[in-house]
């Protein structure tokens, strides 16, 4: 086997400079190695770029693996960090253009605007995304990592930490928007010597991949956020409950935990103080309901992931019946930045009771599919058209689905509504974890409602009767409608049943399951009627049973 | 005083049991390590047969009926051997509105295999997943661990047939 | 001495000790709240959703069997709305599997049948699911007909908590959920079953029954052994 | 004023509900003092007449003949009563639903028959894919479950209907 050129050592950052000199690089190419670009052979590009740069005799450039650059639609992506120049759809054997661009970079160059997709964003939880090597602790520290934890441990008490989080107005980013400061205080004040912190990384909403990107791009941030939370609530043990469907995220988390333990940011006596905290990973195994906190706890305990009625809430009686703080990935990812920049800074962003920023995953029939973080209060139009680049093929916008299977569909007439927890609920939808799925006139809204109902019945744990039986019956009724075999009585039955399930189901999955039906009925009732009365599917999606077969 | 209890020996001298035993020991050989142990056994053997389930249950002190309850609850665990190759079709929302249904129909038409089934020759298992998080590549599939985005049904079938 | 709370159920003033559930105090005061998964002597799980009650000041309904009483709480256990919910939930239990009272061993000794009558459920509007489910008659003394199982899991809990055998558990999820023995093997082949028959006794329907009983002959003599076991356990400090 | 016109119909059921009707004993005289029986399997009328006031329907809708008949009955009847469990829930006839028509006929006419096994095609009405309760097919006004409903319940209900009251079916239950 021939000697590999030094430049081709793939997984080290500063592929070239590290070998040749310690000076800051003149030019750097950031290659996105998050899951989406990885599946488009991004890693080959890192290797090839290193080889080509070495062949071209460039000794003052850096080729760095980074996390998600955001614009997944154009992957694989490479960015020249000094100029902001972005290369999309890069093929491994077409990296010459990037090498040329690297040659041209001058020390006086400044980052040029990269267009509205990037310029309209405000990055807090994702501030390091696409900037650091996710497997390099030094890189994280260089960009301010662990400053917050050190300040917390040296200057603050658990009370002042909780106070700052409360004042920042941060709310749970997993869906319901429960005030984070209040949750932390409840856990801190709960009776019990042993307490736990759990990071909920069981991102199950179809069409949502924010948490995955954060974990893949900036895993240390989660560990820092968890350590701060643990300090604030007096916990010493933490778990990250992550989907097994995210192997890259799990691998990077494992690496990050190992590095953080070695550097003294996890384990006994963190940052040379008396504070102890360690983290373990628990893998999910393909059950959507485990995103519900009591089900998640059951799963961490090695049991079937079935929810139980609350109260008692996990904050009082959670893992092994001990007080347990459960926060979502994005919530914990916001914590270090808030403590670094101050609660007032964070509370200054956003609108009304929805403070700060929110990460959204743009998907569906939208040009710029990818990951964005915007201030709360931005309008849907800005997100879909300015940032998202509008609808694929210039087709008409029909609806945007938010909140996953417990959410709803928002029609075009509300495009100018500003997005916040409150406004979405008012429109019959839900923030959820932040998936935004854009639909055009090729989607049938009854079919979409049926799709979500199919999801819910499939993911129902089977514990309580309304969810186990009721979701299937809602599905049967919707199926009848999409086949053009339903009557107006069936529609009335659908609405009645949906209302009862919403009130009687045990957990959020069952209580939220009727939401897609409610919201599509609210805004697209005419489509239901078209299927029932006229027996046609306006979008041409559903297969209507011919009249002669029915007779 | 609790009755002394000895852990069972590995069912055979297959080296892979060692991996499973190590993972269970790391979890304290307690019932809480059940899901971790099932992950380890499935990684090692490809699927969970009753021998593996019994062994895991007996080591961790979990009743057999509960082990079976947990193994069948989570869709990630499979109790049947899989085909030589696997194709996981994402049925998340983004993939759904971009044609995941057509992919499944295409596979059924060309290769006569439905989700959760294996072709008659044992070559290919087709599975579905509730969102792989690769929504920007919709519709997406995973063929033997490699994500393929923006899938064209014809090309996918050709690729799978060639394997 | 535990603290005594006074509060109201359906406008009636009642009292109970701290730690008691709404269901327990209602029972003591002769207020009947329908329930099928609840059984005195084993842990509650709040799953059948028949005992849902309204608590003034809370936007959500609460399962009476799992809601601890508090001082001054105002519980509504019976209203037109709750009746409609309970009727529909009972209806769901009937249409989920294939209940045919006429040929059931528990005909006229069935808690599901009783509940339907109490709630005035005279017919089903919801679509029937009609799944194909099995009957397991491999056990020497008993049999299980999954057509009649409503997944209250009394059998699972009594087997675990009282008999200590943990022969029963559940498998799969959602609509596919079934109770099962050991590794999902036929009951008769179970190595853990002690044939104590407690599961059969506590089954609210005709799903678990003694072999050799004719239609409507499956009356279950409900010996009060569960509360008694609980008392013994408490005395021993378990 | 002429007396109310009462009918009874027998679809897919065992006739047990009709037996229970007769079990009213002498009270049946009281009922038919106040009403005319215009159609019933218990008496010899060939056709279901027009303008029936009350009709008790026993049995589930299992065959094309049942379907045809119940639609005609519904058109000609003011108050339709689902009479007994088969009509209300499809009960025993419905036990075949999870099995499916083809395997059902195979078992009945092929597998268990030694002499000239064949599935009848002309002399019996075609089975519907599923045996359904009456209210799945036509609108039903009153439900009286029970297998069979007791004679007392039947009397109370008829008494109420003939007196123009909303019938009280409290005490009725599935099974017995």
Domain ranges of chain B: 16-73, 85-162
Does C118 contact D at CB distance below 8 Å? no
Q: How far is CA C14 from CA A186, A255, A435, C29, C71, in A?
A: 31, 59, 48, 7, 10
By Cβ distance, the residue of C167, C172, C173 closest to B65 is: C167
Range of the domain at D50: 5-95+127-162
Q: How far is C82 from chain A (nearest CA, A)?
A: 10
pLDDT tops 90 at residue A432: no
Same domain for A217 and A318? yes
Grouping H, G, I as helix, E, B as strand and the rest as coil, residue B6 is coil
Distance CA A374, CA A388 (A): 12
Q: What is the pLDDT of residue A547?
A: 79
Instruction: Please report the ipTM that was assigned to this predicted complex.
Output: 0.93
Distance CA A481, CA A532 (A): 6
Does A11 contact B at CB distance below 8 Å? no
Same domain for A225 and A323? yes
Q: How far is CA B57 from CA A102, A225, A363, B54, in A?
A: 58, 36, 42, 5
pLDDT band at A221 (very low <50, low <70, confident <90, very high): very high
For chain B, give the longest Cα–Cα distance: 66
By Cβ distance, the residue of A458, A472, A493 closest to C125 is: A493
> Which of A80, A114, A148 is where one domain is finished?
A114
Average pLDDT, chain A: 91
Grouping H, G, I as helix, E, B as strand and the rest as coil, residue A449 is helix
Does A472 contact C at CB distance below 8 Å? yes
**Choice between C182 and A113, residue whose per-residue pLDDT is larger:** C182
Handedness of CA B14, B17, B18, B19 (dihedral sign): positive
- Tell me how crowded residue C178 is: count the other CB atoms within 10 A of its CB: 17
Q: What is the CATH number of the domain that holds D137?
A: 3.40.50.700
Distance CA A204, CA A450 (A): 18
The tokens for A203 are 């991102």
DSSP classification of residue B98: T
Q: What is the CATH number of the domain that holds A96?
A: 3.40.30.10
% of chain A beyond a pLDDT of 90: 78
Residue A515 contacts residue A408 (beta carbons within 8 Å): yes
CATH class of B85-162: alpha beta
**Choice between A72 and C10, residue whose per-residue pLDDT is larger:** C10
By Cβ distance, the residue of A460, A463, A465 closest to C92 is: A465
pLDDT tops 60 at residue A9: no
Distance CA B46, CA B62 (A): 22
| Record: contact C123-D133, CB cut-off 8 A | yes
pLDDT digit string (tens) for A240-296?
999 988 889 999 999 999 999 999 999 999 988 999 999 999 999 989 999 999 999
Give the CA radius of gyration of chain C.
19
Q: What is the pLDDT of residue A12?
A: 42
pLDDT digit string (tens) for D76-117?
999 999 999 999 999 999 999 999 999 999 998 999 888 888
What is the secondary structure of A348-394 as a DSSP string?
Answer: TSEETTEESEEEEEEEESBSS-EEEEEETT-BHHIIIIIIT-SBGGG
**Choice between A484 and A50, residue whose per-residue pLDDT is larger:** A484
Residue B125 contacts residue B117 (beta carbons within 8 Å): yes
Range of the domain at A228: 137-347
For tokens 């710029």, name the residue: A368
What is the secondary structure of A65-125 as a DSSP string?
Answer: EES--S-GGG-S-EEETTTTEEE-S--TT--HHHHHHHHH--TT--PPP--HHHHT---ST
> Which of A326, A347, A368 is where one domain is finished?
A347
Residue A123 in any domain: the answer is no
β pairing state of C12-17 and C4-9: antiparallel
A437 membership: H or E segment, kind and range: strand A435-440
Q: What is the pLDDT of residue A109?
A: 87
**Residue among A350, A344, A305 nearest A460 (CA):** A305
| Structural domains in chain C, sorted by start | 4-78 (3.10.20.740), 84-235 (3.30.70.20)
The mean per-residue pLDDT over the stretch C106-124 comes to 94
Q: How far is CA D143 from CA A86, C133, D37, D174, in A?
A: 71, 28, 20, 11
Same domain for A433 and A518? no
pLDDT digit string (tens) for A186-215?
999 999 999 999 999 998 888 888 999 999
Q: What is the pLDDT of residue A19?
A: 52
Distance CA D32, CA D53 (A): 13
Distance CA A130, CA A68 (A): 5
Phi, psi torsion values for A329, nearest 5 degrees: -55, -50
Same domain for A329 and A451? no
Number of domains in chain D: 1
For tokens 């097994």, name the residue: A244
Same domain for A84 and A172? no
| Total number of residues shown for chain C | 238
Residue A286 in any domain: the answer is yes
Residue C81 C-alpha from the chain's centroid: 22
Least confident of C129-133, C186-190, D70-74: C129-133
Does A477 contact C at CB distance below 8 Å? yes
Distance CA A132, CA C25 (A): 60
Distance CA A284, CA A286 (A): 6
Phi, psi torsion values for A214, nearest 5 degrees: -65, -45
Q: How far is CA A504 from CA A314, A327, A407, C51, in A?
A: 21, 26, 18, 10
Segments of A144-277 assigned E as strands: 196-201, 237-242
The mean per-residue pLDDT over the stretch C87-105 comes to 95
Same domain for A392 and A516? no
Q: How far is CA A531 from CA A291, A450, A451, A483, C151, in A?
A: 34, 13, 16, 8, 36
Residue A119 in any domain: the answer is no
pLDDT tops 70 at residue C236: no
pLDDT tops 50 at residue A10: no
Q: How many CA atoms lie within 13 A of C190 on its CB side?
A: 27
Does A504 contact C at CB distance below 8 Å? yes
Q: What is the pLDDT of residue A6?
A: 40
The tokens for C37 are 């998964």
pLDDT tops 80 at residue A382: yes
Distance CA A422, CA A431 (A): 9
% of chain C beyond a pLDDT of 90: 82
Grouping H, G, I as helix, E, B as strand and the rest as coil, residue A440 is strand
The mean per-residue pLDDT over the stretch C119-146 comes to 94
Residues forming beta bridges with residue B73, ordered by sequence position: none
pLDDT digit string (tens) for B53-97?
999 999 999 999 999 999 999 999 999 898 889 899 988 888 888
Residue A63 contacts residue A29 (beta carbons within 8 Å): yes
% of chain C beyond a pLDDT of 70: 91
Residue A129 in any domain: the answer is no
Residue A217 neighbours by CB under 8 Å, 6+ apart = A34, A66, A67, A68, A126, A128, A129, A130, A132, A134
Torsion, CA A312, CA A314, CA A319, CA A322, rounded to 10 = -70
| Record: contact A36-B149, CB cut-off 8 A | yes
> Hey, which chains touch C, using 3+ CB pairs under 8 Å?
A, B, D
Q: How far is CA B130 from CA A12, A405, A443, A459, B100, in A?
A: 34, 11, 19, 9, 11
- Residues of chain B in Cβ contact (below 8 Å) with chain A: 31-36, 38-39, 60, 62, 66, 69-70, 73-77, 91-94, 96-98, 129-138, 140, 146-149
Q: What is the pLDDT of residue A510?
A: 96
Residue D112 in any domain: the answer is no
The mean per-residue pLDDT over the stretch D14-39 comes to 95
For tokens 């992550």, name the residue: A242
pLDDT band at C77 (very low <50, low <70, confident <90, very high): very high
DSSP classification of residue C69: P
Distance CA A535, CA A537 (A): 7
| Record: contact D173-C116, CB cut-off 8 A | yes
Q: What letters, b where the CB count within 10 A reaches 16 and e where it falls short, cover A161-198?
A: bbbbbbbbbbbbbbbbbebbbebbbbbbebeeeebbbb
Peptide bond into A102 cis (omega under 30): no
The tokens for D32 are 């038919």
**Residue among B45, B2, B1, B5 nearest B23 (CA):** B45
The mean per-residue pLDDT over the stretch A396-421 comes to 94
Same domain for A148 and A259? yes
Q: What is the CATH number of the domain that holds A376?
A: 3.10.20.600
Regions of chain B short of the pLDDT cut 70: 1-2
pLDDT digit string (tens) for A479-533?
999 999 999 999 999 999 999 999 999 999 999 999 999 999 999 999 999 999 9
Q: How far is C56 from chain D (nearest CA, A)?
A: 31
pLDDT tops 60 at residue C82: yes
Same domain for A71 and A109? yes
The mean per-residue pLDDT over the stretch D17-23 comes to 95
Residue A213 contacts residue A190 (beta carbons within 8 Å): no
DSSP classification of residue C21: B
The mean per-residue pLDDT over the stretch A140-145 comes to 94
Same domain for A333 and A298? yes
Handedness of CA A486, A490, A495, A497 (dihedral sign): negative
Residue D116 in any domain: the answer is no
Least confident of A103-112, A507-516, A521-530, D31-40: A103-112
Distance CA A440, CA C219 (A): 60
Residue D143 neighbours by CB under 8 Å, 6+ apart = C122, C123, D81, D82, D88, D135, D169
pLDDT band at A40 (very low <50, low <70, confident <90, very high): confident
Same domain for A204 and A337? yes
Q: What is the pLDDT of residue D24?
A: 93
Distance CA C7, CA C22 (A): 10
By Cβ distance, the residue of A462, A470, A476 closest to C92 is: A470
pLDDT digit string (tens) for C3-51?
999 999 999 999 999 999 999 999 999 999 999 999 988 999 999 999 9
Distance CA A487, CA A493 (A): 10
By Cβ distance, the residue of A303, A364, A451 closest to B70 is: A303
pLDDT digit string (tens) for D116-153?
888 887 788 999 999 999 999 999 999 999 999 999 99
Does C123 contact D at CB distance below 8 Å? yes
D63: left (phi over 0), alpha (psi -120 to 50) or beta: beta
Residue D74 in any domain: the answer is yes
């Amino acid at each position: 086997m021939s000697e590999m050129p030094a430049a081709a050592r793939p997984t080290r950052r500063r592929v070239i400079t590290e070998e040749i000199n310690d000076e800051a690089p003149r030019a750097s190419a950031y290659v996105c190695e998050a899951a989406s670009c990885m599946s488009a052979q991004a890693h080959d590009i890192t290797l090839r770029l290193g080889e080509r740069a070495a062949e071209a005799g460039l000794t003052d450039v850096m080729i760095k693996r980074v996390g998600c650059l955001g614009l997944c639609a154009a992957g694989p992506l490479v960015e020249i960090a000094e100029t902001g120049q972005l290369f999309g759809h890069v093929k491994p054997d077409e990296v010459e253009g990037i090498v040329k661009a690297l040659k041209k970079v001058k020390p006086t160059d400044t980052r040029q605007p990269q267009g509205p997709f990037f310029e309209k964003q405000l990055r807090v939880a994702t501030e390091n995304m696409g900037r650091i090597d996710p497997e390099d602790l030094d890189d994280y520290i260089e960009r301010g990592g662990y400053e917050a934890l050190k300040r917390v441990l040296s200057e603050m008490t658990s009370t002042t930490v909780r106070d700052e989080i409360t004042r920042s107005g941060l709310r749970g980013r997993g869906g319901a928007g429960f005030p984070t400061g209040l949750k932390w205080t409840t856990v801190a004040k709960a009776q019990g010597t042993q307490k736990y912190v759990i990071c909920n990384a069981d991102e199950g909403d179809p069409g949502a991949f924010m948490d995955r990107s954060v974990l893949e791009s900036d895993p240390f941030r989660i560990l820092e956020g968890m350590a701060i939370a643990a300090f604030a609530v007096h916990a010493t043990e933490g778990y990250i409950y992550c989907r097994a469907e995210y192997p890259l995220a799990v691998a990077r988390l494992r690496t990050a935990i190992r590095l953080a333990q070695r550097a003294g940011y996890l384990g006994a006596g963190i940052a040379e103080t008396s504070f102890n905290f360690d983290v373990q990973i628990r893998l999910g195994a393909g059950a959507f309901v485990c995103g519900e906190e009591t089900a998640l706890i059951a799963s961490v305990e090695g049991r079937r992931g079935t929810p139980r009625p609350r109260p008692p809430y996990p904050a009082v009686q959670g893992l092994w019946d001990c007080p347990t703080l459960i926060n979502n990935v994005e919530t914990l990812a916001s914590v270090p930045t808030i403590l670094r920049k101050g609660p007032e800074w964070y509370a200054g962003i956003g609108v009304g009771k929805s403070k700060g920023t929110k990460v959204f995953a743009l998907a569906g029939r939208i040009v710029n599919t990818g990951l964005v973080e915007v201030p709360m209060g931005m309008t849907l139009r800005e997100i879909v058209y300015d940032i998202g680049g509008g609808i694929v093929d210039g087709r008409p916008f029909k609806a945007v689905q938010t909140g996953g299977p417990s959410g709803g569909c928002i029609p075009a007439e509300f495009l100018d509504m500003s997005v916040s927890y409150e406004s979405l609920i008012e429109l019959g939808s839900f923030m959820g974890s932040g998936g935004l799925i854009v639909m055009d006139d090729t989607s049938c809204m009854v079919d979409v409602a049926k799709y979500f109902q199919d999801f819910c019945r499939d993911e129902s744990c089977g514990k309580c009767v309304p969810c186990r039986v009721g979701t299937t019956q809602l599905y049967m009724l919707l199926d009848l409608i999409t086949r053009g075999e339903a009557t107006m009585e069936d529609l009335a039955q659908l609405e009645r049943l949906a209302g009862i399930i919403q009130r009687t189901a045990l957990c959020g999955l069952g209580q939220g399951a009727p939401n897609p039906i409610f919201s599509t009925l609210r805004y697209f009732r005419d489509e239901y009627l078209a299927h029932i009365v006229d027996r046609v599917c306006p979008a041409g999606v559903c297969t209507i049973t011919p009249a002669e077969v029915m007779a | 005083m609790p009755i002394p209890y000895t852990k069972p020996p590995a069912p055979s001298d297959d080296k892979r049991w060692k991996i499973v035993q190590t993972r269970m020991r790391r979890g304290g050989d307690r019932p809480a390590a059940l899901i971790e142990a099932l992950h380890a056994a499935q990684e090692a053997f490809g699927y969970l047969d009753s021998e593996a389930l019994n062994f895991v249950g007996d080591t961790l002190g979990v009743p057999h009926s509960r082990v079976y309850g947990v193994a069948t609850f989570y869709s990630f665990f499979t109790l049947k051997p899989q085909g030589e190759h696997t194709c996981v079709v994402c049925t998340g929302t983004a993939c759904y509105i971009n044609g995941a249904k057509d992919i499944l129909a295409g596979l059924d038409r060309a290769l006569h295999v439905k989700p959760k089934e294996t072709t008659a020759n044992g070559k290919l298992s087709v599975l579905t997943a509730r969102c792989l998080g690769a929504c920007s590549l919709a519709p997406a599939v995973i063929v033997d661990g490699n994500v393929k985005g923006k899938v064209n049904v014809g090309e996918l079938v050709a690729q799978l047939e060639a394997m | 001495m535990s603290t005594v709370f006074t509060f109201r159920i359906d406008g009636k003033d009642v009292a109970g000790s701290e730690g008691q559930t709404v269901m327990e105090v209602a029972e003591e005061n002769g207020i009947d709240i329908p329930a099928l998964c609840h059984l005195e002597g084993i842990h509650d799980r709040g799953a059948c959703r028949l005992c849902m009650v309204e608590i003034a000041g809370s936007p959500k309904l609460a399962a009476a069997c799992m809601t601890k009483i508090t001082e001054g709480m105002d519980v509504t256990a019976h209203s037109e709305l709750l009746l409609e919910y309970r009727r529909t939930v009972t209806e769901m239990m009937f249409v989920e599997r294939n209940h045919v009272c006429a040929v059931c061993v528990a005909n006229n000794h069935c808690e599901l049948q009783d509940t339907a009558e109490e709630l005035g459920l005279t017919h089903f509007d919801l679509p029937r699911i009609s799944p194909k489910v099995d009957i397991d008659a491999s056990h020497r003394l008993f049999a299980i007909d999954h057509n009649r199982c409503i997944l209250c899991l009394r059998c699972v809990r009594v087997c675990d908590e009282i008999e200590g055998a943990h022969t029963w558990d559940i498998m799969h999820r959602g609509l596919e959920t079934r109770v099962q023995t050991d590794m999902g093997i036929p009951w008769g082949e179970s190595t853990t079953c002690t044939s104590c028959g407690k599961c059969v006794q506590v089954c609210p329907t005709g799903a678990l029954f003694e072999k050799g009983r004719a239609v409507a002959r499956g009356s279950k003599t409900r010996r009060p052994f569960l509360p008694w076991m609980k008392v013994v356990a408490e005395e021993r400090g378990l | 004023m002429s007396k109310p016109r009462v009918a009874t119909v027998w679809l897919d059921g065992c006739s047990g509900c009709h037996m229970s009707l007769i079990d009213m004993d002498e009270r049946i005289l009281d009922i038919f003092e106040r009403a005319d029986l215009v159609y019933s399997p218990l008496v010899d009328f060939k056709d279901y007449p027009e303008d029936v006031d009350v009709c008790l329907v026993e049995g589930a809708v299992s065959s094309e003949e049942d379907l045809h008949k119940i639609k005609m009955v519904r058109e000609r009847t003011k108050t339709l009563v689902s009479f007994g469990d088969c009509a209300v829930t499809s009960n025993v006839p419905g036990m075949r639903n999870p099995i499916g028509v083809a395997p059902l006929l195979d078992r009945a006419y092929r597998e268990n028959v030694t002499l000239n096994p064949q599935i009848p095609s002309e002399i019996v009405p075609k089975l519907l894919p599923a045996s359904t309760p009456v209210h799945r097919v036509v609108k039903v006004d009153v439900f009286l479950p029970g297998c069979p409903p007791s004679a007392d319940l039947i009397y109370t209900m008829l008494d109420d209907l003939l007196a123009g009251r909303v019938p009280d079916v409290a005490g009725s239950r599935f099974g017995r």
